[in-house]
Amino acid sequence: MKLKDLLRIIRGNAILVTLAAVFGGMATLGVSLLVPPTYTAQSDLFVSVRTTGDPMQMQSASTFIQERMQTYVRMVDDRAVLEPVIKDLNLTVTPEDLGKRVTASSETGTVLISIEASSGSAESAAKLSNAVSKSLVTAIEKLETTADGQSGSLRLVVANPAVAPQSADGLGWWMSGILGLLLGFALGIGASILFSVLDTRLRSKEDIEGLTQVPILAAIPSDPDLRGRALDARKDPFSIAGESFRRLRTNLQFARIDDDNRALLVTSAQAGEGKTTTSINLAIAMAQKGQKVALVDVDLRSPSIAERLGLENAMGLTSALIGEADVADLLQPWGLDELYVLTAGDQPPNPTEILDSRAMARVLTRLLDEFDSVVLDAPPTLPVADSLVIGRQVGRIVVVVGLGELRDRDLTETLNSLDVVGVPVSLVLNKVSPSTTPSSSGYYASYANTARRPIVDETIHMSSAVAGQERSAAVEAKAASLDTQPTQTVATDTFGMAPSNDTSRQQQCSADSGETGRFRPVASSADLSRIERDNAAPRRGANEAREKSGRYSRRQILARERKQP
C-alpha cells in the first residue's frame, strides 16, 4: 500500500480515527485517575562469610554464598518471615496476601538480596520493605545457629534501608493520556485499513480506474441542493456544480466527435446514484450552449423529470408510443433556451416491451431529425432490462456512478451488460467530495470569487408557458407579414417549432423542405393560426401548473393569458 493510499483511507475514515484516538486517550486517562496509586520501596541485604583471609577459604566461601542466596530469596514469602511483620506493623492481612506484595531477587555475581514491597502509600511501602528485611535476617540467623548455640558462618546485614518513594508506580496521568491517544490513533488506522479491505464500495476515482478502462468524462461534486431541482447556471454561473456540468458537456462533445447517432442514454447501476439529476442538468448545459436539445424521460417505471421541472405528465412518451397523440404535440419547452422535454406519461404495464417496439424507434428517429442532441433518462441497469433495450438505439451510453454507494461488483456487472449492446460507454462520477473535484481547485475558486456576477431576471425559471408565448408572438408577426405578402412561405419543423439557430441546419432544412415528415410549407395565416390553437391548450395547462406551484404571480399569468390566441 502506497502512502497516498494510506492517507486517502485515513481521510475517508477521519471520524473513526478521531473517535478512536479520543476514546483511547480518555480511557487511559480515566483509568489512571480512578485506579488507586501504588508505591514500591526497596531495601538491600548484604551477605558475607566469616573467613581467616586464606585465598582458598575465601573462594570456597564465595561458592557457598551463591548457593545459599537462592535459598534465602525463596524464603521471603514464607510464613516464618511474614508473620512477625504482620505483628510488628499491626496489619490485617494474611501471610499469603502479604506475600503477593513482597518480592525478593538477587543478581548473579553479587552478594546482595533486594527486597521490594508495595503499598498504597509511600511511607507504608518503606516500612514494609524494612520490616521484611529485618524479619528475613532474623529467620536466617535462627536457621544458621547450631544446636549447641553457636552462630553460623553466614552473616546478613541491611546494607540499604528502604526510603519512601517520591512518585507512584507506572506513568503519570498526563503520560497515560498521551499514550492512550497514540494507541487509539493506531487502532483507528488499523480499523480503517481493515474496513477498506472488507468494504467493496467505490469511493474514489482511483478505485474505478483500477477496476475498468472505461473513460471518465467528469466528476460532479456532492451537492444536496441539486437533488430534486434543475441547475440554473445563469443565477450562479460560477458555482462548482455548474462548472462540472459544463466540463461534462465539453468532454462529451469531444467523446462524441465520431458518433453518428446523437442520442445519449444516461443510466446507472442502481437507483439513487443521480442519473436523473445528471440528465436534466446536462441537457440544460447543452441548450445553454445554443444546441436544440430534447430531454426524454424513458424511465417508465419511476418517472421524475416532469415533477422536477414542473411540467405536465398527463400525456407523454407512452401516449406517443400507443398512438394517442403525436410526439409533436407532447414536447414541452422549458426555460429560455432551445430545450424541449418529453415526459414519460402514464406508466404502462409492460415498459420493456413498449420501449423495444417499432413505435419507440420511430419516435427516436423523429427526434434525431429535429434536434441537435437527444438526452434519454433511462432506468437503472441492474434491476431491469429497459436500459439494455433502448441502449441499442442510441449513439452513446453514460453511466452515472455514485461514489460511496456502488460496489465494485455491481459496476463490473453493469459494464459487462452494456458491453453486449455494442454502444460506446462513458462514466460520470457523482457525489464526489467537493475538495477533490477539478472545479474546486484554488485557482478556480479565486477566479470565481473575483468575477462579477451578471444581473439576471427574477423570472429565469419560467418554463414552457413563457417560452410558448414568445414563439406565439413571433408566429403571429410572421402571419401578419404573410397576409401582406401572399407568395412568401415560412418553413417550420414537424413539431410546429422554429428551426434551430444553427446556420448549417437551416440550410439543410431549406434544401429538404419538400421532404414529407420533416418540414411542411405554410402558405397562409390560417394554417399558422391552427398550429397555435393546437398548442394553446398545453400552454394553458402549463400556466395553471405554474400558478399552483407558485413559480410566478397571478398577475403575470393573466398578462400572458391575454396574449394567447
Give the Å distances, CA to CA, from 110 to 34, 48, 105, 319. Answer: 40, 11, 11, 104
- Position 58 scores a pLDDT of 61
Has residue 286 got a pLDDT over 60?
yes
- Give the other-Cβ count within 10 Å of 153's Cβ: 13
**Grid cell in block for residue 148:** 549447641
Composition of the chain by helix, strand, coil, percent to 5: 50, 15, 35
Instruction: Report, as an integer, the average pLDDT of 241-256.
Output: 89
Instruction: Report, as an integer, the average pLDDT of 342-355.
Output: 92
Has residue 396 got a pLDDT over 90?
yes
The superfamily CATH assigns to domain 205-450 is P-loop containing nucleotide triphosphate hydrolases (3.40.50.300)
Q: What per-residue string of b and e applies to 196-223 under the rule 16 or more CB within 10 Å gives b?
A: beeeeebbbbebbeeebebeebbbbbbb
> Phi and psi for 260 in degrees, rounded to 5?
-80, -30
DSSP string, 264-283: EEEEESSTTSSHHHHHHHHH
Nearest to 470 by CA among 448, 493, 443, 497: 497
- Position 32 scores a pLDDT of 80
- Position 327 scores a pLDDT of 92
**Grid cell in block for residue 292:** 436544440
Q: Which residue has the higher pLDDT, 40 or 470?
A: 40
Phi-psi region of 88 (alpha: psi -120 to 50; beta: other; left: phi over 0): alpha
DSSP character at residue 384: -
Is 205-450 the same fold as 39-160? Answer: no
- Position 515 scores a pLDDT of 37
Nearest to 378 by CA among 318, 296, 321, 308: 296
DSSP character at residue 425: E
Distance CA(386)–CA(364), nearest Å, equals: 15
DSSP character at residue 164: -
Residue extents of the structural domains in the chain: 3-35+171-198, 39-160, 205-450, 464-561
* Residue whose grid cell is 528475613: 136
* Most confident residue range from 144-153, 188-197, 337-346: 337-346
Distance CA(151)–CA(191), nearest Å, equals: 67
Q: How far does Cα 273 stand from its chain's mean position?
A: 12
> Counting every residue, how long is the chain?
565
pTM: 0.57
Instruction: Tell me the chain's radius of gyration from C-alpha atoms.
Output: 44
Q: 542 has which bridge partners?
A: none
pLDDT tens track for 415-453 = 999 999 989 999 999 988 776 655 544 544 555 454 444
- Position 521 scores a pLDDT of 35
- Position 553 scores a pLDDT of 47
Beta strand 373-377 pairing with 293-297: parallel
> Phi and psi for 42 in degrees, rounded to 5?
-130, 135
- Position 461 scores a pLDDT of 39
Q: Which residue has the higher pLDDT, 2 or 105?
A: 105
Nearest to 142 by CA among 160, 156, 128: 156
- Position 416 scores a pLDDT of 93
Has residue 532 got a pLDDT over 80?
no
Instruction: Report, as an integer, the average pLDDT of 346-354.
Output: 91
Q: Which residue has the higher pLDDT, 363 or 524?
A: 363
Distance CA(190)–CA(180), nearest Å, equals: 15
Distance CA(280)–CA(175), nearest Å, equals: 58
**Grid cell in block for residue 496:** 410546429
- Position 478 scores a pLDDT of 45
Sign of CA dihedral 304, 305, 308, 313: negative
For the ranges 217-231, 239-253, 488-502, which has the lowest average pLDDT? 488-502
Has residue 509 got a pLDDT over 50?
no
Contact 353, 321 (CB under 8 A): no
Distance CA(546)–CA(310), nearest Å, equals: 7
Has residue 278 got a pLDDT over 60?
yes
Q: How far does Cα 218 stand from its chain's mean position?
A: 17
Q: Dihedral, CA atoms, 118, 123, 124, 128, nearest 10 degrees?
A: 70
Q: Which residue has the higher pLDDT, 87 or 149?
A: 87
Distance CA(516)–CA(278), nearest Å, equals: 35
Nearest to 227 by CA among 278, 292, 153: 278
For the ranges 11-25, 147-161, 198-212, 477-491, which has the lowest average pLDDT? 477-491
Give the Å distances, CA to CA, from 106 to 116, 137, 514. Answer: 11, 15, 115
Q: What per-residue string of b and e applies to 427-455 under the rule 16 or more CB within 10 Å gives b?
A: bbbbbbbeebbebbeeeeeeebeeeeeee
pLDDT band at 229 (very low <50, low <70, confident <90, very high): low
- Position 169 scores a pLDDT of 83
* Most confident residue range from 170-174, 448-452, 465-469: 170-174
DSSP character at residue 269: S
- Is the domain 39-160 a CATH 3.40.50.2300 member? no
When the pLDDT of each residue in the chain is averaged and rounded to a whole number, the result is 77
Q: Which amino acid is at 23?
A: F
